[in-house]
């Protein structure tokens, strides 16, 4: 029973951390509702395009830190508050997953959130640094070659879903369940990009531009 208290405390805190809609709050500082601009998404890419580049980068950094904090800070705080020691990687993975879920379905915006790419990247850095390095390399290659952020994000997620089963990359000692959870999170990120995939098929997806818009 005491273990359930630890997991309940950690999971609740992780979800609430993930649910903080930084993109929405940052856009509000400029008097804008990011949900009515661009793609309507509250994530960093839409803030970057629709509000300002520096604020988009700030949104990415904060969303990234949510994921990292979800697997590092939250489990430690839950253990300290409850006085129950965490055993193994289970609590960290559980909290990290709930942080991503909180970002994707935030209770503060009627359960409509972002796509979880930056938050998932932070989670991966805390759990599997080698995996996030490979995924970032794939993201960068696809982004530079296509200039579609969505294509890069989908490709990075799919590469992660494959590479997590490589023992040297992601510490196989944690067990098959560890790779399985990370694969599910990667596939969730792909699923959250289904509207982008529809626009890609229709030829209406926006390309990233490095200069000023015409």
Distance of alpha carbon 128 from alpha carbon 169, whole angstroms: 7
Distance of alpha carbon 27 from alpha carbon 40, whole angstroms: 12
Where is average pLDDT lowest: 12-16, 18-22, 172-176? 172-176
Q: What are the residue ranges spanned by the domains of the chain?
A: 1-127, 128-214
> Is residue 11 over pLDDT 80?
yes
Of 58, 30, 31, 32, nearest to 43 by C-alpha is 58
Question: Could you read off the pLDDT of 107-157 as tens digits, one per residue?
Answer: 999 999 999 999 999 998 998 887 888 899 999 999 999 999 999 999 999
Total-model pTM: 0.88
């Amino acid at each position: 029973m005491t273990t359930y208290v630890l997991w309940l405390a950690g999971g609740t805190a992780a979800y609430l951390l993930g649910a903080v809609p930084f993109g929405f709050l940052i856009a509000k500082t400029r008097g804008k509702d990011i949900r009515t601009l661009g793609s309507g998404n509250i994530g960093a890419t839409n803030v970057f395009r629709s509000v300002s580049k520096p604020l988009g980068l700030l949104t990415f950094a904060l969303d990234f830190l949510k994921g990292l904090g979800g697997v590092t800070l939250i489990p430690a705080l839950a253990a300290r508050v409850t006085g129950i020691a965490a055993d193994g990687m289970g609590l960290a993975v559980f909290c990290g997953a709930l942080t991503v879920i909180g970002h994707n379905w935030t209770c503060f915006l009627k359960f409509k959130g972002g796509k979880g790419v930056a938050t998932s990247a932070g989670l991966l850095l805390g759990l599997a640094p080698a995996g996030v390095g490979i995924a970032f390399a794939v993201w960068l290659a696809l982004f530079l070659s296509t200039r579609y952020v969505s294509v890069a994000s989908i490709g990075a997620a799919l590469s992660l879903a494959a590479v997590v089963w490589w023992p040297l990359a992601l510490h196989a000692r944690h067990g098959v369940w560890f790779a399985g959870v990370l694969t599910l999170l990667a596939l969730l990120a792909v699923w959250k990009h289904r509207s982008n995939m529809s626009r890609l098929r229709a030829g209406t997806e926006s390309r990233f531009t490095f200069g000023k818009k015409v």
